[in-house]
Amino acid sequence: MTIIPALDIIDGKCVRLTQGDYTQKTVYNERPLEVAKKFEDAGLKRLHLVDLDGAKEGTVRNWKVLETIAGKTALVIDFGGGIKTAKDVEIVFESGAYLATVGSMAVENELEFKNWLTRFGADRFLLGADVKNEKIAIHGWQETSELWVYDFIEKYIQEGIAQLFCTDISKDGKLEGPSIDLYKSILEKFPTLNFIASGGISSLHDLEELAKIGCGGAIVGKAIYENRIKLAELVTFNV
């Protein structure tokens, strides 16, 4: 299972939100490159970089942070938040991301997203399924749609998407453990999917449980920043 550290950006700073609430913000570091370099120095290979300003405003904002980290580390970066146009996708790739993370667009503008899959290749996208009560949430979790998560996944597997991460909003940032039952259910329905768990991970035990049910990866955020899980432990796990 691949461990993917999360780095969330507001105003160019590394932050974490609780349950996607912009009023519950903790600033961990004002220099995201320092954080990314720590991940790389510890032996981690990937980075989940989220432009929270972009997610809220509907346009990519913190691409300069992406450019800096991509230029000064060898991390394989997926970048998301505010990607709404093909030009945004171009900016993200030109700034050094290997994968463009898309969630809301795949719900609200299915035709345009499918055009991107054709133009750039489905393998260059990481599909994000943010979930609340098994329904897809959009706009940085500020709205919940009526789209059932299983229908959402099924639709885009048929379009060539092979990698997806799912975040249970009710768990995110609370360090109460991941939604094992939800993820197990998704994996049972879509056994060939490279499924990445996200939200609520608070310990190595959580990661062991996720690996046991067949997750291909896990995004870890707050647990790292609050020293619930040490980077050295993640590298040992990340085999």
Q: How confident is the model at residue 23 (pLDDT cuts 50, 70, 90)?
A: confident
pLDDT at 138 > cutoff 90: no
Q: Tell me what the mean pLDDT of segment 194-216 comes to.
A: 95
- Lookup result for tokens 């938040």: 81
Q: Looking at per-residue confidence, does 233 or 172 come out higher? A: 233
**Quick one: what percent of the chain has pLDDT higher than 70?**
96
Report helix, strand and coil shares of the chain as percent, to nearest 5: 40, 30, 30
Active-site pick, 8, 51, 78, 206: 8
Q: How confident is the model at residue 238 (pLDDT cuts 50, 70, 90)?
A: low
On average, the pLDDT of the chain sits at 92
Q: What total of structural domains would you count in the chain?
A: 1
pLDDT at 119 > cutoff 70: yes
The region, left, alpha or beta by phi > 0 then psi within -120 to 50, assigned to residue 159 is: alpha
CATH number of the structural domain spanning residue 160:
3.20.20.70
Q: Identity (one letter) of the amino acid at 219?
A: I
Q: Tell me what the mean pLDDT of segment 159-171 comes to.
A: 91
Mark whether 181 is an active-site residue. Answer: no
pLDDT at 14 > cutoff 90: yes
pLDDT at 237 > cutoff 80: no
CA dihedral 101, 227, 215, 17 (to 10 degrees): -40
Q: How confident is the model at residue 31 (pLDDT cuts 50, 70, 90)?
A: very high
For 67-88, write each residue's pLDDT tens digit: 999 999 999 999 999 999 999 9
pLDDT at 141 > cutoff 60: no
pLDDT at 235 > cutoff 90: no
pLDDT at 229 > cutoff 80: yes
Q: At what angle do helices 86-94 and 110-120 cross, to 10 degrees?
A: 40
Active-site pick, 51, 78, 130, 168: 130
Q: How confident is the model at residue 145 (pLDDT cuts 50, 70, 90)?
A: confident
Q: Tell me what the mean pLDDT of segment 5-33 comes to.
A: 90
Contact by Cβ (8 Å): 156, 106? yes
Q: Tell me what the mean pLDDT of segment 188-207 comes to.
A: 95
Mark whether 51 is an active-site residue. Answer: no
Domain region containing 96: 2-237
Which pair of structure tokens corresponds to residue 216?
A: 């291909």
